Amino acid sequence: MDRSLDAFLTQVTERAGYDRPQQGARAVQNVLEVLGAHLVGDDRTDLAALLPGGCGSLLTASVPGSEPLTPASFVEAVADRSNEDLAEARREIDAVLPTLAEIADQALLRRLLTQLPPGHAGLFGCTDPG
């Protein structure tokens, strides 16, 4: 898999059905900033290290969240960050998180999902770890 920034943004842009890469870049920023606030430790930095130029810092620079977000609250947080409606936030999430799931190996993805409340696996396009 090509791990360049252009390839990453192209994949997100196409997955979301956007017309312009800037829309994909905005989705990546919104989703990674919210996700980064809810991941901690080595798992967060391991995922950040796999991301192309500039994307990893969106995860690691996020201030830790005060409480865990349910999947529905995660969508709401992305909507708040992007000043968009819930449908557009879900579109961003559905483009970004499955792309992250393809980049992370299964062990890392499992560790990430265990940090999040149940139900987040569906946002990543996979099943909850057992």
Evaluate if residue 121 carries a pLDDT over 70: yes
| Concatenated DSSP letters of the chain | ---SHHHHHHHHHHHHT-SSHHHHHHHHHHHHHHHHTT--HHHHHHHHHHS-TTTHHHHHTSPPPSS---HHHHHHHHHHHHT--HHHHHHHHHHHHHHHHHHS-HHHHHHHHHHSPTTHHHHTTSPPP-
Interatomic CA distance for residues 50 and 2, integer angstroms? 11
pLDDT above 90 covers a percentage of the chain that reads 84
The pLDDT score that the predictor gives to residue 28 is 97
The pLDDT score that the predictor gives to residue 66 is 85
The pLDDT score that the predictor gives to residue 130 is 54
The pLDDT score that the predictor gives to residue 62 is 86
The pLDDT score that the predictor gives to residue 64 is 86
Q: Report whether 60 contacts 48 (CB < 8 A).
A: yes
Q: Which residue has the higher pLDDT, 15 or 3?
A: 15
pLDDT digit string (tens) for 52-94? Answer: 988 999 999 988 888 889 999 999 999 999 999 999 999 999 9
The pLDDT score that the predictor gives to residue 29 is 96
pLDDT above 70 covers a percentage of the chain that reads 97
Sign of the four-CA dihedral 115, 116, 118, 120:
negative
How many CB atoms sit inside 10 A of residue 126's CB? 16
Q: Which residue has the higher pLDDT, 125 or 1?
A: 125
CATH of domain 5-119: 1.10.490.110
Interatomic CA distance for residues 79 and 75, integer angstroms? 6
Evaluate if residue 1 carries a pLDDT over 60: no
